[in-house]
Structure 1
Amino acid sequence: MFNKIRFKYTLITIITALVLIGCSKKKDKFLNKNFHSITTKYNYLYNGNLLLDNALESLNDQEKDNFWELLPLEKYNSEEIDKESKNDIQTPFSQAEEKAVLAIQKHSMNINGKEENPIMDEAYLLLGKSRYYDKRFIPSLEAFNYILFKYPTSQYINHVKIWKEKINIRLGQSETAIVNLKELILDNKLENQDLAEANIYLAQAYINTRSQDSATPCLKTARQLISEKPLRARYNYILGQLYDDFKYKDSANTLYNENISYKRKIPREFLIHSHIRRTTNTDSINNSIIELQELVENIENKPFLGSLFHQIALLSLRQQKDSVAIKFFNRSLESIVNDEYLERVNYQKLAEINFDNNEYLSAGLYYDSTLTKLEKKTKLYRQIKRKRDNLKDVILYENITKHNDSILALVNMNNVDREEYFKSYIEKLKRKEEKLKQEEEKEKDFGSQNIFDQQPKAYDEAVFYFYNPSAVAYGKSAFTKKWGKRKLVNNWRWSIQFDDLKNKNEKIVSLEIPQDSIYSADYYINRIPKSSITIDSLKLITNDAYYKLGAIYKDQFKEFEISNQKLTILLSNNPETFLIPPAKYSIYKNYISLGEEMKAAEIKEDIIINYPTSKYAEFLLNPETVLLDTENNSMEIYNTIYDEYNNQNYLDAIALCNTNIKKLYESPIIPKIEMLKAVSIAKEFGYKRYMEQLNFIKLNYSNSIEGKEAEFITKNVLPILSSTVFLDNDKSNNFKILYQFSKTSEADTENFVTIINEAINEIEYLELNTSRDYYNNIVTFVVLHGLKSYDGAMGLAEMLNKKPDINNKRHFVVSSENYKTIQIHKNLEEYLK
Structure 2
Amino acid sequence: MNKLYRFLFILLAFQIAVSSCASTKKRDDQSALGKLWHNMNSHYNGYFNAKEIMTETLLSIDEQHVDNYTQRLDMFPFLELDNTSSVTEQLDIAIEKVAIVVKKHPYSNWVDDSYLLIGQAQLIKQDYESAEKTLRFMVTEFRPRPTRKKSKKASGESDEPEEEFVSRRNVESNPAQDIKDRLRARKDAQKERKKLSKERQKAAKERKKQREKERKARIRARKKGIKLAPVSSKTDTSAVTGLENEPEEDPEEELGPIGMISIFNQASNLGGGEAYGKKSGSYMLKHRPAFQEGRLWLAWTLVKRDNFDQAQIILEDMRANRGTFPDIRRKAMAVQAFLYLEQGKFEEAIPYLEEAAEVAESRNERARYYYIAGQLYQELGQPSGAAGAFEKTIAARPDYELELGARLNLAQNSFLSGTGSAADALKKLERMAKEDKNIPYESQIYFSMAAVALKSGDQEAGAQYLQMSLSSPSAGSVQRTEAYSLLGDLAYNEDDFLSAKLYYDTTLTVMDKGDFRYDAIEGRRDQLTGIADALTDIEVKDSLLRIGMLPEPEREKWAANLFEQRRQASIRPTTPIASNSRGSAGGSALSTSSFWAYSSQAIKRGKRDFERTWGERPLTDNWRRSRRTGDIFEDDGDGGSSSPTEEVTIVTEDEITKLLEGIPTTEAEQNTMTIQQATNWFNLGREYRDQLDNSPKALSAFETLNNRYPNANGEAESWYYQYLIHKENGNTAKAQEFATKLKSRYNGSKYEKLSNDPSYAATLMADENKLVREYETAYRAFEQGDYNTAHEMAVKGRATLLGKHPLKARYALLLAMTTGNTQGRQAYINALRQVVSQFDNTPEQTRAKEILRLLGESGARLPGQTSASAASGGFKESMDELHYLLIVFNDEDTDLNAAKIKVAEFNNKYNKMDRLRVTNVYLGTGNKTPVLVIRRIKSGELAMKYVNNAIEREKEFLNAGVFDYDVYAVSQSNYREVLKARSVESYREWFKENY
TM over 0.5: yes
The offset of 1:573, in angstroms, is 3.4
The offset of 1:208, in angstroms, is 2.7
RCO (CA 8 Å, sep 6+): is it higher in 1 or 2?
2
**Which of 448, 452, 455 does residue 318 from structure 1 map onto?**
455
* Whole-Å separation in 1 of the counterparts to 2:805 and 2:570: 57
**8 Å Cα contact 1:104/1:123 also seen in 2:** yes
**Which of 309, 314, 329 does residue 195 from structure 1 map onto?**
329
* Whole-Å separation in 2 of the counterparts to 1:707 and 1:96: 48
Q: Per the alignment, do residues 166 and 30 of structure 1 end up closer, same or farther by CA in structure 2, a change over 3 Å counting?
A: closer
The offset of 1:598, in angstroms, is 5.2
**Which of 399, 404, 407 does residue 541 from structure 2 map onto?**
404
Q: Per the alignment, do residues 277 and 166 of structure 1 end up closer, same or farther by CA in structure 2, a change over 3 Å counting?
A: farther
- 3-state SS of the aligned residue for 2:78? coil
Q: Per the alignment, do residues 302 and 425 of structure 1 end up closer, same or farther by CA in structure 2, a change over 3 Å counting?
A: farther
1:118-150 CA distance string (max 9 Å, x none): x88777777776776676734455455544346
* Whole-Å separation in 1 of the counterparts to 2:527 and 2:404: 39
Q: Per the alignment, do residues 260 and 24 of structure 1 end up closer, same or farther by CA in structure 2, a change over 3 Å counting?
A: farther
1:349 corresponds in structure 2 to: 486
2:445 corresponds in structure 1 to: 308
- 3-state SS of the aligned residue for 2:584? coil
1:270 corresponds in structure 2 to: 402
Q: Per the alignment, do residues 378 and 430 of structure 1 end up closer, same or farther by CA in structure 2, a change over 3 Å counting?
A: closer
The offset of 1:226, in angstroms, is 2.5
**Which of 76, 79, 97 does residue 77 from structure 1 map onto?**
79
1:558-610 CA distance string (max 9 Å, x none): 33333333323323334446543333343344444555555555444444445
- 3-state SS of the aligned residue for 2:544? helix
Structure 1 residue runs of 5 or longer lacking an equivalent are 1-10, 469-513, 658-670, 680-705, 713-730, 735-833
Write the letter of the residue equivalent to 2:341.
I
Higher mean Cα deviation, 392-401 or 176-185? 392-401
In the TM superposition, 1:222-621 aligns within 5 A as 222-262=356-396, 265-281=397-413, 282-283=415-416, 284-333=421-470, 342-372=479-509, 381-413=518-550, 419=554, 434=568, 437=571, 440-441=572-573, 443=574, 445-446=575-576, 449=577, 454=579, 456=580, 460=582, 462=584, 464=586, 515-517=650-652, 529-576=664-711, 579-593=714-728, 599-621=734-756
**8 Å Cα contact 1:166/1:177 also seen in 2:** no
Q: Per the alignment, do residues 90 and 556 of structure 1 end up closer, same or farther by CA in structure 2, a change over 3 Å counting?
A: closer
* Whole-Å separation in 1 of the counterparts to 2:739 and 2:3: 118
Write the letter of the residue equivalent to 1:399.
T
2:143 corresponds in structure 1 to: 148
Q: Per the alignment, do residues 170 and 374 of structure 1 end up closer, same or farther by CA in structure 2, a change over 3 Å counting?
A: farther
The offset of 1:254, in angstroms, is 0.8
Write the letter of the residue equivalent to 1:189.
G
**8 Å Cα contact 2:72/2:372 also seen in 1:** yes
1:170 corresponds in structure 2 to: 301
**Which of 61, 64, 69 does residue 62 from structure 1 map onto?**
64
* Whole-Å separation in 2 of the counterparts to 1:674 and 1:80: 42
1:359-402 CA distance string (max 9 Å, x none): 33333333333444567799855544443333333233333322
The offset of 1:615, in angstroms, is 4.4
2:877 corresponds in structure 1 to: none
Q: Per the alignment, do residues 526 and 48 of structure 1 end up closer, same or farther by CA in structure 2, a change over 3 Å counting?
A: closer
Q: Per the alignment, do residues 626 and 613 of structure 1 end up closer, same or farther by CA in structure 2, a change over 3 Å counting?
A: closer
* Whole-Å separation in 1 of the counterparts to 2:585 and 2:367: 38
In the TM superposition, 1:195-214 aligns within 5 A as 195-214=329-348
1:542-562 CA distance string (max 9 Å, x none): 222222222222333233333
**8 Å Cα contact 1:307/1:336 also seen in 2:** no
* Whole-Å separation in 1 of the counterparts to 2:136 and 2:775: 64
1:31-52 CA distance string (max 9 Å, x none): 7777776787777776665555
**Which of 165, 184, 187 does residue 318 from structure 2 map onto?**
184
In the TM superposition, 1:15-94 aligns within 5 A as 17=7, 20-21=10-11, 52-77=54-79, 89-91=89-91, 94=93
The offset of 1:105, in angstroms, is 7.2
* Whole-Å separation in 2 of the counterparts to 1:366 and 1:215: 35
- 3-state SS of the aligned residue for 1:148? coil
Write the letter of the residue equivalent to 1:232.
R
**8 Å Cα contact 1:193/1:226 also seen in 2:** no
Q: Per the alignment, do residues 651 and 377 of structure 1 end up closer, same or farther by CA in structure 2, a change over 3 Å counting?
A: farther
**8 Å Cα contact 1:422/1:524 also seen in 2:** no
**8 Å Cα contact 1:645/1:653 also seen in 2:** no
Write the letter of the residue equivalent to 2:378.
D
Q: Per the alignment, do residues 126 and 378 of structure 1 end up closer, same or farther by CA in structure 2, a change over 3 Å counting?
A: closer
**8 Å Cα contact 2:364/2:399 also seen in 1:** yes
2:815 corresponds in structure 1 to: none
The offset of 1:236, in angstroms, is 0.8
- 3-state SS of the aligned residue for 1:76? helix
1:627-657 CA distance string (max 9 Å, x none): 4435655423666799999556999755xx8
* Whole-Å separation in 2 of the counterparts to 1:104 and 1:59: 27
Identity %: 17
The offset of 1:218, in angstroms, is 2.3
* Whole-Å separation in 2 of the counterparts to 1:620 and 1:123: 75
**8 Å Cα contact 2:113/2:290 also seen in 1:** no
1:675-707 CA distance string (max 9 Å, x none): 89xx9xxxxxxxxxxxxxxxxxxxxxxxxxx99
Q: Per the alignment, do residues 424 and 134 of structure 1 end up closer, same or farther by CA in structure 2, a change over 3 Å counting?
A: closer
**8 Å Cα contact 1:200/1:222 also seen in 2:** yes
1:715-743 CA distance string (max 9 Å, x none): xxxxxxxxxxxxxxxx9999xxxxxxxxx
Q: Per the alignment, do residues 614 and 126 of structure 1 end up closer, same or farther by CA in structure 2, a change over 3 Å counting?
A: closer
User: Paired residues, what number?
Assistant: 590
* Whole-Å separation in 2 of the counterparts to 1:527 and 1:127: 66
* Whole-Å separation in 2 of the counterparts to 1:466 and 1:592: 77
| RMSD (Å) for aligned C-alpha atoms | 5.2
**8 Å Cα contact 1:124/1:147 also seen in 2:** no
**8 Å Cα contact 2:470/2:483 also seen in 1:** yes
Relative to the length of structure 2, the TM-score reads 0.50
Write the letter of the residue equivalent to 2:388.
T
1:475-504 CA distance string (max 9 Å, x none): xxxxxxxxxxxxxxxxxxxxxxxxxxxxxx
- 3-state SS of the aligned residue for 2:79? coil
Higher helix proportion (structure 1 or 2): 1
Structure 2 residue runs of 5 or longer lacking an equivalent are 17-28, 145-162, 166-279, 591-648, 779-791, 813-838, 846-863, 868-995
The offset of 1:183, in angstroms, is 1.7
**8 Å Cα contact 1:243/1:249 also seen in 2:** yes
* Whole-Å separation in 2 of the counterparts to 1:675 and 1:352: 42
* Whole-Å separation in 2 of the counterparts to 1:301 and 1:147: 52
Q: Per the alignment, do residues 645 and 200 of structure 1 end up closer, same or farther by CA in structure 2, a change over 3 Å counting?
A: same
Relative to the length of structure 1, the TM-score reads 0.58
**8 Å Cα contact 2:79/2:123 also seen in 1:** no
